Each structure stands twice: as structure tokens, then as C-alpha cells.
Amino acid sequence: MTKLASRELLAQIIDHVCYTELVYQRVNKKLSVDLSQAEVEGLVVLVLDDSATSIEKRGKNYYVTNQPRQVQLVINSFNYRLITVNRVTE
């Protein structure tokens, strides 16, 4: 995927990303933090809007990785729902 195409895809995800009640708890647990719903959503937008972010589609999910923040978002490619956030340790 070209850099321009990935930037356009990330912009599309920003416009459509959605959340469930359980995902907020999952994000806090996986990252060992205590963020409010607004803070979780803000973190997701910051990661998606960062020029250091890369995106890869595997199966039905997008894996959005940001090395400087050491996080990876897993987003469903059909409905843009945030599934989880993983800590990147590479």
C-alpha cells in the first residue's frame, strides 16, 4: 500500500471509527492505564492521525501500528469498530 493510499485510509478510519462499551475497559486493561472514554477516543485519533503510523490489512482487520507511542490498534475493516489496542514492544 502506498503512503498516500494509507494516509487516505487512515483518514477514512478516523471519520468512521466506532467503539463498544467493553472496548474502553479492554484498552485500559491492555495498556495498564485508567483513561476515560473521551481519552481513549482521543488516543485513537492521535494514533490514526500521526505521520509515523503504519497500517496493514490482515484478514478482516486493520492493524494500525505507531512505534513512537508503542501501540497497535486492531480495527474491523468492515464496520471500523475498534476491537483492541496492543502494546508494541519492538
Please provide the DSSP assignment of 3-19 as one string.
HHHHHHHHHHHHHH-B-
Domain boundaries, the chain: 3-87
Give the integer Cα–Cα distance in Å for 48 and 12.
10
C-alpha cell at 56: 496493514
- Asked if the 3-87 domain carries CATH number 3.10.450, the reply is yes
Quote the pTM value. Answer: 0.92
pLDDT along the chain (90 residues), means of 10: 78 96 96 96 96 94 95 97 92
| Residue 33 DSSP symbol | -
pLDDT value for 61: 97
pLDDT value for 5: 73
